[in-house]
Structure 1
Amino acid sequence: MDKEATAIGIDVGKLKLHGALIIEGKIRSKSVANSSTGYQELTDWMTRQNVELDSCLVCMESTGVYSEPVALGLQALGLTVSIVNPARIKGFAQSELVRNKNDGIDAALIARYCEKMHPQPWKAPTPEQRRLRSWCDRLKALKDMRLQEENREEACTVAANLELAEHLRQHVEWLKVQIKQVEREIEDHIACHPQLKRDSDLLASIPGIGKATIAVMLGHVGDMQRFHSAKALAAHLGVSPRQRTSGTSIRGRTSMCRTGNRATRSALYMPAVVASRHNPALRNFAERLHANGLPKKAVIGAVMRKLVHLMFAVVRSGIAFQPDYPRGRQMS
Structure 2
Amino acid sequence: MYFAGVDIAKRRHELCVIDDSGDILLQLPVENTKRGFEKLLTAFRTKQLTNQNVRFCLEATGHYWIALYCQLKEHEFSVDVVNPIQSDALRNLYIRKTKTDQKDSFILADLLRLGRATSTQLASETVLKLQTLSRMRFEFVSQIGGLKNKVIGILDRIFPEYPGCFSDVFIKTSRELLKQYSSPEELAEVDLTELSDFLREHSRGRIGMDRAERIQNLARGTFGISIAIDAFTLELRLLLQQIEFIEEQIKEIEDAIDQVMEEMRPSDETPYRHVIETIPGIGPVLAAAIIGEVGDITRFKNAKALVAFAGIDATIRASGQFEGTRNRMSKRGSPVLRHSLWLAAVSARRFNPKFKEYYDTKRAQGKHPNVVTGAIARKLAHLIFALWTDNRPFDPNYKWTAGSTN
Compute the TM-score of the two structures, normalised by the length of structure 2: 0.73
Q: Following the alignment from structure 1 to structure 2, what is the Cα–Cα distance between the partners of residues 225 and 128? A: 17
The residue type paired with residue 91 of structure 1 is A
Structure-to-structure mapping, 1:87-166, within 5 angstroms: 87-157=85-155, 158-159=157-158, 160=229, 161-166=232-237
2:93 is the alignment partner of 1:22: no
Structure-to-structure mapping, 1:1-332, within 5 angstroms: 5-23=1-19, 24-27=21-24, 28-157=26-155, 158-159=157-158, 160=229, 161-194=232-265, 200-290=273-363, 294-328=367-401, 331=404
Shift of 1:293: 5.4
Q: Following the alignment from structure 2 to structure 1, what is the Cα–Cα distance between the partners of residues 118 and 85? A: 16
Contact 1:212 1:267 in 2 (8 A): no
Q: Deviations over 1:102-150 (max 9, x none)?
A: 2112211222222223313221211121122111122122222222222
The residue type paired with residue 19 of structure 1 is L
Contact 1:47 1:53 in 2 (8 A): no
Shift of 1:292: 5.6
Contact 2:264 2:273 in 1 (8 A): no
Contact 1:196 1:218 in 2 (8 A): no
Shift of 1:294: 4.6
Q: Following the alignment from structure 1 to structure 2, what is the Cα–Cα distance between the partners of residues 231 and 249? A: 25
- Pick closer, same or farther for the CA change 1:36–1:18 going to 2, 3 Å: same
Q: Following the alignment from structure 1 to structure 2, what is the Cα–Cα distance between the partners of residues 226 and 86? A: 17
Contact 2:131 2:292 in 1 (8 A): yes
Task: Determine helix, strand or coil for the equivalent of 1:53.
Answer: coil
Task: Determine helix, strand or coil for the equivalent of 2:56.
Answer: strand
Shift of 1:288: 4.8
Task: Determine helix, strand or coil for the equivalent of 2:7.
Answer: strand
User: Highest CA radius of gyration, 1 or 2?
Assistant: 2
- Pick closer, same or farther for the CA change 1:287–1:130 going to 2, 3 Å: same
Paired residue total: 328
Q: Following the alignment from structure 1 to structure 2, what is the Cα–Cα distance between the partners of residues 156 and 292? A: 41
Q: What runs of 5+ residues in structure 1 fail to find an aligned partner?
A: none
Q: Deviations over 1:36-76 (max 9, x none)?
A: 33233323323322334234221121111112222222111
Contact 1:239 1:258 in 2 (8 A): yes
Give the RMSD, CA atoms, in angstroms. 2.6
Q: Following the alignment from structure 2 to structure 1, what is the Cα–Cα distance between the partners of residues 366 and 153? A: 40
Q: Following the alignment from structure 1 to structure 2, what is the Cα–Cα distance between the partners of residues 156 and 29? A: 56
Shift of 1:325: 0.7
Q: Following the alignment from structure 2 to structure 1, what is the Cα–Cα distance between the partners of residues 72 and 124? A: 16
Contact 2:303 2:381 in 1 (8 A): yes
Task: Determine helix, strand or coil for the equivalent of 2:401.
Answer: helix
Q: Following the alignment from structure 2 to structure 1, what is the Cα–Cα distance between the partners of residues 340 and 40? A: 39
Q: Following the alignment from structure 1 to structure 2, what is the Cα–Cα distance between the partners of residues 37 and 194? A: 42
Q: Following the alignment from structure 1 to structure 2, what is the Cα–Cα distance between the partners of residues 126 and 88? A: 23
Contact 1:80 1:121 in 2 (8 A): no
